[in-house]
Amino acid sequence: MAKLEVFDSTLRDGAQGEGLSFSLDDKLRICSLLDGLGVAYIEAGNPGSNVKDRQFFEHMGRQRLKSARLVAFGSTRRPGVKAGEDRNLLSLASSGAPIAAIFGKSWRFQVDEVLRISPEENLDLISSSISFLASQGLEVFFDAEHFFDGWKEDPDYAMQTLRVALQAGASRLVLCETRGGWLPDAIYEAVSAVHEALPDAVLAIHAHNDSGCAVANSLMAIKAGATQVQGTMTGIGERCGNANLSTIIADVELKLGIKAIDGRLENLASTCRSIASICNMPLEGGMPYVGSSAFAHKGGMHIDGVLKDPRTFEHVRPEDVGATRRLLMSEVSGRALLMQRIERIQPGLSKDSPQVVRLMEVLKEKEAEGYQYEGAENSFDVLIHKELGAGDPFFTFVHYQTIGQLPYADPMSGASHTALVKVRVHGESAIAAAEGKGPVNALDKALRAVLEQFYPSLRSVHLTDYKVRVLDGVDATASRVRVVITSSDGVDSWTTIGVSSDIIKASFLALSDSIEYKLFNR
């Protein structure tokens, strides 16, 4: 196979995932991203089911896509209704989409118990629906719903539904693993049998992930003769989701040497991140190829190997899919990564020098306290700076004090706390006070106010993120917490951390590290 057709159903099947609801603007943005990535087909919804999908197709009728073709989704006609009078088929015909994907029953159980019609009538539903849409100028894909379950129970009837669809004019026969319970070897056997029986038909695989095998099932179907693969980007969808196209695309191109998209594979990770953001769902860190942990290394042996040659622990290059390699700082990461960070601050030390050995012990002690530097490496840079004595300290903390008041003294300002901070800079003491919306906000303002007198560059620094995590709940409100903050000066961003059973102290430690990092990194 020179080229695999990628059929994306993020906007239709993906939208059926729990907690997902796309606005019209969301659908348009995702459509643009998928088109930019270079998928062949975008199944964008059912124009006969809701206003939003109808508006989408109306809007897209005035647009031109770069490489993808739009697909409108629907079902075969209703029993007892002529194809030319069926409201669903008419909406597909008038949608403006060049392709219609319609699903029909291939499992006798569904015909008998759900439609409650005769097997012959079901075949007529399939045939007449496809013939009508083809007569309206549409290309038609036939989704053989529950095909594999039907093939297992009554293979002759399941094959009949495919033959009828093919004879009526369907250009693609989509073998749907609708319940998601099949395993790869059985999928291979079934698709091989269909491919042998219908060698001239273009076969597609549509797999669900209820047994955790959607990607594997799709790959086995491709090996057995399917030339189109269907799924959703990042694997979203009903129940346990659909086959994850981001994984399949990378597997097919990098492992099987088959072209899957017209765009550049290096855009895969950024496309998935953008779609996940639109879905308002975090991209799973461990997702193959595109997750934040896909090329993240933490164990000391792994980091040492990757620093020598990435092939030791990476099966593909991260840049091939637009991802980034990450080396995580922790108590198990070993001295190779530690030396890499030390070299940037104080070059010339060996990994066996007393300072490095001591710093490794401090790192382990800090992690035992609850510090987690893999998400706040810049705090670890501050720790290196302090432990190695790399230059005079920029400031020495003397004390701070916070005072809270309810009701607010000034309801208009919303300030509920006042903070006072005293520091010593190069032998000179200074003090500042500030009001804020809560103790941490007040403390942040006071710390900046007192230090900006000596370091004007701090005026550009501001917080962009603030997270608190309770490390254990044993001591209830006295439990230790981890505070992680992200700061920015408008050009660069950095992340620091503080841990304490006092949330204000933990916040202060993170704030203090943030300022120190900015100062020594100038």
Instruction: Find the mean pLDDT for residues 82-99.
Output: 94
- Measured CA to CA, the distance from residue 216 to residue 187 in angstroms comes to 9
Buried b (16+ CB within 10 A) or exposed e, 185-223: ebbbebbeebbeebeebbbbbbbbbbbebbbbbbbbbbe
CATH 3.30.160.340 residue ranges for the chain: 354-388+460-522
- Measured CA to CA, the distance from residue 476 to residue 501 in angstroms comes to 10
Cβ distance 148 to 182 under 8 Å?
yes
Which pLDDT score, from 0 to 100, does residue 432 have?
94
CA end-to-end span of the chain: 55
Which pLDDT score, from 0 to 100, does residue 108 have?
95
Which pLDDT score, from 0 to 100, does residue 390 have?
64
Instruction: Find the mean pLDDT for residues 62-76.
Output: 91
Instruction: Give 446-458 pLDDT, tens digit per residue.
Output: 999 999 999 998 9
Instruction: Find the mean pLDDT for residues 480-491.
Output: 87
Instruction: Find the mean pLDDT for residues 298-311.
Output: 86
Instruction: Give 382-425 pLDDT, tens digit per residue.
Output: 888 777 776 678 888 899 999 987 777 667 677 889 999 999 99
Instruction: Find the mean pLDDT for residues 230-239.
Output: 96
Question: Tokens representing 89?
Answer: 């088929």
Cα separation values, 1 from 4, 135, 250, Å: 7, 31, 16
Which pLDDT score, from 0 to 100, does residue 334 have?
61
Which pLDDT score, from 0 to 100, does residue 344 have?
74
Question: Tokens representing 404?
Answer: 């809270």
Which pLDDT score, from 0 to 100, does residue 329 have?
63
Whether the pLDDT of residue 90 is over 90: the answer is yes
Maximum mean pLDDT: which of 166-180, 303-317, 430-444 = 166-180
Cβ distance 89 to 129 under 8 Å?
yes
Which pLDDT score, from 0 to 100, does residue 349 have?
78
Q: Where are the alpha helices (DSSP H) in 332-405?
A: 334-345, 354-369, 377-387
Residue 35's pLDDT band (boundaries 50, 70, 90)?
Answer: very high
Instruction: Find the mean pLDDT for residues 41-64.
Output: 87
- Measured CA to CA, the distance from residue 102 to residue 91 in angstroms comes to 12
Buried b (16+ CB within 10 A) or exposed e, 311-324: eeebebebeebbbe
Which pLDDT score, from 0 to 100, does residue 303 have?
83
Instruction: Find the mean pLDDT for residues 493-502.
Output: 89
- Measured CA to CA, the distance from residue 248 to residue 220 in angstroms comes to 11
- Measured CA to CA, the distance from residue 509 to residue 332 in angstroms comes to 24
Question: Could you tell me what percentage of the chain is helix, strand and coil, using 3-state DSSP and rounding each to the nearest 5?
Answer: 45, 20, 35
Which pLDDT score, from 0 to 100, does residue 397 have?
87
Which pLDDT score, from 0 to 100, does residue 74 have?
95
Residue 188's pLDDT band (boundaries 50, 70, 90)?
Answer: very high
Cα separation values, 224 from 151, 177, 205, 218, Å: 16, 15, 10, 10
SS3 of 263-322: the string is CCHHHHHHHHHHHHHHHCCCCCCCCCCCCCCCCEECCHHHHHHHHHCHHHCCCCCHHHHC
Which pLDDT score, from 0 to 100, does residue 391 have?
66
- Residues 6 or more apart whose CB falls under 8 angstroms from that of 474 comprise none
Task: Give pTM, 2 decimals.
Answer: 0.74
Residue 130: phi, psi to the nearest 5? -65, -40
- Of 73-77, 153-157, 460-464, the one with minimum mean pLDDT is 460-464
Q: Dihedral through CA 456, CA 460, CA 464, CA 469, nearest 10?
A: -10
Which pLDDT score, from 0 to 100, does residue 494 have?
87
Torsion over CA: 38, 46, 88, 96 (sign): negative
Residues of the chain with pLDDT > 70, as a percent, come to 96
Burial of 256 (0-12, 13-18, 19+ CB in 10 A): middle
Whether the pLDDT of residue 259 is over 70: the answer is yes
CATH number of 354-388+460-522: 3.30.160.340
Total Cβ atoms within 10 A of residue 348: 7
Cβ distance 300 to 331 under 8 Å?
no
Instruction: Give 317-349 pLDDT, tens digit per residue.
Output: 999 999 988 777 665 656 666 777 777 777 777
Pick the CATH number of 395-454 from 3.90.930, 3.30.160, 3.40.190, 3.40.50: 3.30.160
Burial of 14 (0-12, 13-18, 19+ CB in 10 A): buried
Instruction: Find the mean pLDDT for residues 135-153.
Output: 97
Residue 48's pLDDT band (boundaries 50, 70, 90)?
Answer: confident
Give the 3-state secondary structure of residue 193. helix
- Of 40-44, 74-78, 338-342, 467-471, the one with minimum mean pLDDT is 338-342
Position 438: which residue type? Answer: G
Cα separation values, 362 from 225, 384, 397, Å: 58, 10, 21
| Superfamily per CATH, domain 5-263 | Aldolase class I (3.20.20.70)
CATH 3.20.20.70 residue ranges for the chain: 5-263
Q: What is the DSSP string of 215-253?
A: HHHHHHHHHHT--EEEEBGGG--STT-B-BHHHHHHHHH
Which pLDDT score, from 0 to 100, does residue 224 have?
97
Whether the pLDDT of residue 174 is over 70: the answer is yes
Per DSSP, 14 falls in state G
Instruction: Find the mean pLDDT for residues 493-522.
Output: 88
Whether the pLDDT of residue 165 is over 70: the answer is yes
Which pLDDT score, from 0 to 100, does residue 343 have?
76
Maximum mean pLDDT: which of 26-30, 221-225, 368-372, 454-458 = 221-225
Which pLDDT score, from 0 to 100, does residue 320 have?
95
Mean pLDDT of the chain: 90
- Of 22-26, 142-146, 216-220, 411-415, the one with minimum mean pLDDT is 411-415
Which pLDDT score, from 0 to 100, does residue 340 have?
74
Which pLDDT score, from 0 to 100, does residue 304 have?
82
Instruction: Find the mean pLDDT for residues 128-145.
Output: 97
Instruction: Give 269-303 pLDDT, tens digit per residue.
Output: 999 989 998 888 888 989 999 998 899 888 878 88
Total Cβ atoms within 10 A of residue 63: 11
